[in-house]
Chain A
């Protein structure tokens, strides 16, 4: 086979990157795999619930078409439909492949894979390995890629960070520049194609449910070098996460399913312990505002209401937190039904949720938007592909639970053959090829040198905090155009102040300061894409909600937002969405989890809080 020196570089070692690496190595081609952490420690480990695939082993009449319809419908029709359909068709075989790799999926009595229910569907479609499915899937791919590492097909560059692409005079991607995170050495890595698989940009919001590596930095670098970024404004915020001093940890929706009640003290800044606040001084605001649904209002409503209460200063202690109270339910019942998630809360907060109400707050969770790709995961830059959360292709305006893992693997599996096909057909670099690498190496070295030399008075961690606060306050759940504009102004101010940071670390060996400074710069650029994309989209769709424009507006906005970098900021254009397979329809909120602000009659989903 034609493996004559074909080399694909993959940036990111989560599910998408490892899936692509495995496929390419299996095809006999060489892979250079870059990751800022050992790949086994990638953010995919945090996924818990499971992975979707319509296998219909429960006799429910499920089908891949039903999965496809649920996904498109849940995404409020913003996704191009053909790749979603292909993913749903491939999903069962992806699950079976992981089964063969030895993932300890939970089993039925007959020894078959078990499947459970998840949001946005009426079928048992989610395979799961305990409550750590992401960890188990990641490990399975890590093991297979290690096998190819031993056979010499895969070279891992862990603790190396991609700083930029190397583009030739025709804007064709010829490799990348990466930095060794211990020595700060920069090196050019020629490649026939580059696959970006670096996950989401949650750190732009300061604290999120994302891991600390989820800065979106590499994606932003690609964007700044000419890659299109699509639907950036679509950011999923989960209603219930555990506010921490360092991050937001997810608290499963099942707590409310089992009768959990959300409340805040009626008196603002009531500092009494929650158990000493009598019933009539508690404001069960979801139950009061949505008597039909109570605490089980669909996810976007719950998120919006909790967020609003806190923005108005009515959160517990005046902070961004409300109570999620399970203390009225007998402890033994809680242990039986919710044991695992209660243990997480206990471990990180130190309180026992059986006796003390949990403090929760919506948390930035996932980016539906990302690098623009075609149906073969190719970006607009020849030789550059993208897969996983960092691409925009599958989830439209809102992602369904347990679809992220399948979309990551699917993206990697599509990107791999597309990269090989591309690599086979390109002209290799000529003799003067080293010029473009030397030039880009020099560019990146100059940026590092400049940051290291700077001795300004601004503190990069303070700037990051400010960005996170502004983005969280203004570009998450409820969006107003004046505030979006003000946020963009703030981002411009932060970009200006960024020029005056000092990295404050005289020891450059294994420093965290320089990489963070590089991330911050890139995060600011991407923050503008998210913010201005939201400003421009005058409608409400999926996770993007504007009170000034509360309805979905298909006539004007059934379009993909495309942002392209320019020296003056992002330039926006819009692309038609391929809706050829399923005609867009209004989401029927009475049966779906995503409901409009309407509180008219309906069933919250058959669960009772009694």
Chain B
């Protein structure tokens, strides 16, 4: 293959710095890698290349970096990490669009398991807590569901695309430890409180986000909505549910 003589010759290698950790009890450290450039590389394919032959830039053998991946189409949410300081999915992070050296770090708001892997089970705990489901009578044939107009469906669809990736929580300045349940769960409350059958158990969901770590901890930084890879209107969900909880609290007080 002939080499291009152009002054804007393509980069010949990709330099990647990975923030690593052997296990939750050991300290984090950085390692640098360099792999040959090919067109259309994404962060995942670089990691695969390093995994095949785990040698650092300075030529030392090391353990293969560990990360999570599955769909590689930005719809499963598993491969989320912090890339050049920005939280996003690594499958859709294209090398050609990233400044080098590329810095890969695990998300900081979740327990670090190893290297780029974090434990996001707290997000699923939140879904349990807010009862993010419709209370079905049963799975036997009861005919069609309630009629809905397309506008309402479109709004629910937006919330229903949440892939539980954690970008909103990583970006949220209030989400730290057990301080705040966060936009992810609140948006799911919105999703089910909007549904004609889901409404029946609306109160349970509202109560779940009214505690000390509840919706009022939102600091209105609006980072979540900017970080969301699915463009979910998270701030709208927080606004709507905040209104609902205030009304519910007020009525509850009147009932006393």
Interface residue ranges, A against B (CB under 8 Å): 22-23, 26, 37-38, 40-43, 45-46, 93, 96-97, 99-113, 129-130, 132, 135-136, 139, 143-144, 146-147, 149-150, 182, 211-213, 244-247, 249, 344, 347-350, 413, 459, 461-462, 504-507, 509-513
Contact (A97, B192) CB under 8 Å given A112-B147, A212-B70: no
**A-B contact sample (7 more), CB < 8 A, given A129-B157, A413-B139:** A37-B68, A100-B144, A100-B197, A102-B195, A136-B160, A150-B128, A211-B76
CB distance from B192 to the nearest CB of A (A): 7
Q: Residue B22 at the A interface, CB < 8 A? A: yes
Within 8 A of A (CB), among B98-132: 113-114, 117, 120-121, 124, 127-128, 131-132
| Main secondary structure on B side of the interface with A | loop
B73 within 8 A of A: yes
CB distance from B98 to the nearest CB of A (A): 11
B82 CB–A CB distance under 8 Å: no
B42: Cβ under 8 A from any A Cβ: yes
Chain B contacts for A506, CB-based, 8 A:
63
* B54 touches which of A97, A106, A147, A504 (Cβ 8 Å): A504
Chain B count of residues within 8 A CB distance of the other chain: 70
Q: Find chain A residues with CB under 8 A from B72 CB.
A: 211-212, 244, 246-247, 249
Tell me whether A41 and B63 are in contact in the complex, defined as CB-CB below 8 angstroms, given that A143-B133, A144-B133 are known contacts. Answer: no
The answer to whether A96 and B144 touch across the interface, beta carbons within 8 angstroms, is yes
- B13 within 8 Å of A (CB atoms): no
B153 interfacial by beta-carbon distance below 8 Å:
yes
B136 at interface by CB-CB < 8 Å: yes
CA distance A112 to B191 in the complex (A): 19
Q: Which residues of the partner chain A approach B66 to less than 8 Å between Cβ atoms?
A: 510-512
A505 to B71, CA, bound (A): 24
CB distance from A108 to the nearest CB of B (A): 8
Q: Which residue of B lies closest to A111 (CB)?
A: B147
Q: Are B64 and A504 in contact (CB under 8 A)?
A: yes
**What is the chain B residue whose CB lies nearest that of A503?**
B64
Q: From B160, which residue of chain A is reached at the shortest CB distance? A: A104
Look across to chain B and name the residue whose beta carbon is closest to the beta carbon of A96. Answer: B144
A344 to B73, CA, bound (A): 8
Q: Is A100 touching B136 in the complex (CB atoms < 8 A)?
A: yes
Q: Are A97 and B133 in contact (CB under 8 A)?
A: no
Contact (Cβ within 8 A) A41 B156: no
* Residues of chain A with a CB closer than 8 A to B77's CB: 41
In the complex, what residues of B have CB within 8 A of residue A246's CB? Answer: 42, 44-45, 48, 69, 72, 91
B229 to chain A, nearest CB (A): 10
* CB neighbours of A103 from chain B (8 A): 160
Q: Which residues of B contact A104 (CB under 8 A)?
A: 153-154, 156-157, 160
Residues B44 and A107 in contact, CB atoms below 8 Å apart? no
Pairwise interchain contact A213-B70, C-beta atoms closer than 8 A: yes
Which residue on B lies nearest to A36, using beta carbons? B70
Q: List 25 A-B contacts (CB under 8 A).
A: A41-B163, A42-B76, A45-B71, A97-B142, A99-B144, A102-B192, A113-B144, A129-B157, A136-B157, A139-B160, A143-B127, A143-B134, A146-B124, A146-B132, A212-B69, A212-B70, A245-B42, A246-B48, A246-B69, A246-B91, A459-B53, A505-B54, A510-B23, A510-B113, A512-B64
**Which residues of chain A are within 8 angstroms of B138 by Cβ–Cβ distance?**
26
Candidates B52, B142, B161, B164; contact of A40 at CB < 8 Å: B164
B145 lies within 8 A of A99 (CB) = yes
Q: How far is the CA of A507 from the CA of B191 in the complex (A)?
A: 42
Whether A347 and B63, one on each chain, are in contact in the complex, defined by CB atoms closer than 8 angstroms, is no
